[in-house]
Structure 1
């Protein structure tokens, strides 16, 4: 393969890459959004809805902490892997299969402790696969990093629709839903990992490391990690407990709540996909990823204010559109931004594993923090206020990143 300073890939690579992320996000977000809350609400022996919310927050956060440990560790091992199958491919395959095993176990688990333990297995497997896939952006691309990051972000939103839509429209039970998800990640995750190219270390694109041999020692990289964590907590506060909000904040029946949750997810997804693709392309053309990331985080903050001041289903749908636009643009551009700030190519997967951790930890701390806020006031207003405040804080943190590219010369804007 070419080792020139710029490299482009075709539609086939981007399609496989998007499909791989679709599988990962589908099996991660469908349980987070629907299956785990359903399981934990049903297993709530006390019969009070706040207890179910708290258990949901605990289980999701414990799984997130497992992913925090697994992602950079798997990334580090991937960076050091030398095999005939490549560096990234074995970890993408192994992570997908481990996640499938964990999903099957989660589907048959009873009670919050066993459900939580099985979900940890899923989280570890998905963290390993995600670290390997994210490293492929830095390994193989320069000009299309924004587009590849947009593919991963848009797949996140589409994954919710694919998973929740299949469960709701097919009327699947909890165990059947987990078995479906296990089969999906086993087939798609492994298949795409086999088909995607995985060049050896000698063919990885060179990266300027002037005075910054380690990304983790770079204050700009750390500010970006912090901003991604905070923005993702803000997003999770606004999305992860929506089923409970529809049930106990607005007052829908369980069937109505599930149907309306699917509507909100579809709205959210459409705007995530559009915003991530548009923002990713703009960032590739201009190279101005910091400003785009800041604007996107501010847009996300507006969505929390909309629900806070008008907690109706109609305005929740409007807020879902606004949050989708802000979050989709932010995740696409900030991921590409992080690849611009990378240091030593031998640590790409480790460093991008930490980048994934910053987002995943935010998504999984959000439910725990949100459950505490709901329990504190016995309602949901503080939840959405905090979502807005944290999104704005993430925008301010992004402004603290002073260096905008790792290469000596910025990419020129295309005319």
Structure 2
């Protein structure tokens, strides 16, 4: 396997943002109004290390991330479960099959979208067509889901929604690689990550307000996402790149696939961290896939629609805990210069929250379990990223390796719902759904994932 080349034979950019594949540095010409002054020679030699981006540009980026996340998360958290109960009330396991199919679709399209946008040359920029096009088609996909007369079309709509909104959201991070200088990249990426934490809460609130109308439940989040995406696409991401030289080399499937392979033998730290991250995210996904149905069973007598209001309350507590975990965990890790122990602690916290949730039969206990799980998630998301940056095999190919790290999350999100559905069938004799074991399994998996990173990764403290 070749560890240092893209399909075109170029070395991947070391400035690609954390956790998303496909971004490479390229020459960009930004309107002066978007930038503070910078050294011209530095900006010319290192386009992504040049002029400082202004605060309002970052605000538009964060709003676009919030909008795109709301459009994608609200159906996953609430809308699909409500629609599925209308179409197949006795088959909640279908939710796992549908979400797995969508995640697999996003897994396939993410690397390709990055490579294609790198090769795009338009008056509006390389990323703008993918941001705007993804959001427009994403709204169409949500409309298909709202109007779906059967489970099959609901699943088709969700796969399309994943493909389109994932493309738009991914292109936002590619813009960070293109535009944000190195001295700002951590803060901008951190704010972008915080936007992803805020979005589920806002989505839950929107869902609670619109749960009585299935069309509005799907379409309003999509319209919000579309408007905020277009605002950033045509104001913040716009740039004329037609003068850029075309990308060399032919784009082939073999080259794309080779770009997402690496040698575990040559890079054992990276490989162990990849496995630990995969297990942690698999546990998280197993615990959350059937969360709406579990909450309905324990708190509302099986009424899924009534969970929307509860989800908003749980979501608010969860985002505060996750934000505290992410910001506090990152600060403590840097202050103590200890990262791996905090990763392991995050797994223990998540497991404790999962067990608490499994034993919950009232709202306060449910809230306590959710808050503890989200605290663990926040710490893990911040500190494990720092571990990856410590052990990245080739800084010159950081974009490629960070893309591979993202595959651990994508694969976990695509396979864990299917595992959860199969496990649910095994532990639910007689058709009576038994969600409780899923939370125990999820807790064990996250602790194992954190333990692998703590004990096997040697290149980070």
1:156-186 CA-partner distances (Å, limit 9, x unpaired): 2321221221121245511122221221221
| Equivalent residue runs for 1:3-402 within 5 Å | 3=46, 9-44=53-88, 47-48=89-90, 51=91, 53-139=92-178, 140-197=180-237, 216-217=261-262, 218-250=267-299, 252=301, 254=303, 256-281=306-331, 289-335=339-385, 337-338=387-388, 341=392, 343=394, 348=399, 352-378=402-428, 379-399=434-454, 400-402=456-458
Given that 2:339 and 2:387 are in contact with CA atoms closer than 8 Å, whether structure 1 keeps it comes out as: yes
TM-score by length of 2: 0.74
| Equivalent residue, structure 2, for 1:413 | none
Alignment CA distance shift 1:152-1:327 (3 Å): farther
TM-score by length of 1: 0.81
Structure 1: how far apart are the matches of 2:144 and 2:128? 25
Q: Per the alignment, in what secondary structure is the counterpart of residue 252 of structure 1?
A: coil
Quote the RMSD (CA, aligned, Å).
Answer: 3.3
- Unpaired runs of 5+ residues, structure 2, are 1-37, 246-257, 429-433
Alignment CA distance shift 1:20-1:279 (3 Å): farther
Given that 1:71 and 1:353 are in contact with CA atoms closer than 8 Å, whether structure 2 keeps it comes out as: no
1:232-259 CA-partner distances (Å, limit 9, x unpaired): 2211222231221122245535254332
Given that 1:146 and 1:284 are in contact with CA atoms closer than 8 Å, whether structure 2 keeps it comes out as: no
Structure number with the higher helix fraction is 1
Q: Per the alignment, in what secondary structure is the counterpart of residue 110 of structure 1?
A: coil
Structure 1: how far apart are the matches of 2:331 and 2:147? 43
- Unpaired runs of 5+ residues, structure 1, are 203-212, 406-415
Q: CA deviation at 1:96?
A: 2.0
Given that 1:26 and 1:163 are in contact with CA atoms closer than 8 Å, whether structure 2 keeps it comes out as: yes
Given that 2:351 and 2:444 are in contact with CA atoms closer than 8 Å, whether structure 1 keeps it comes out as: yes
| Equivalent residue, structure 2, for 1:210 | none
1:134-175 CA-partner distances (Å, limit 9, x unpaired): 334455343454433432332223212212211212455111
Structure 2: how far apart are the matches of 1:359 and 1:198? 30
| Equivalent residue, structure 1, for 2:249 | none
Q: CA deviation at 1:70?
A: 0.6
1:352-407 CA-partner distances (Å, limit 9, x unpaired): 554444324433433332232233222122111111011112212333344449xx
Higher CA-based Rg: 2
Task: Indicate the larger mover: 276-285 or 328-337.
Answer: 276-285
Task: Indicate the larger mover: 269-278 or 112-121.
Answer: 269-278
Q: Per the alignment, in what secondary structure is the counterpart of residue 182 of structure 2?
A: coil
Task: Indicate the larger mover: 103-112 or 228-237.
Answer: 228-237
Structure 1: how far apart are the matches of 2:199 and 2:259? 33
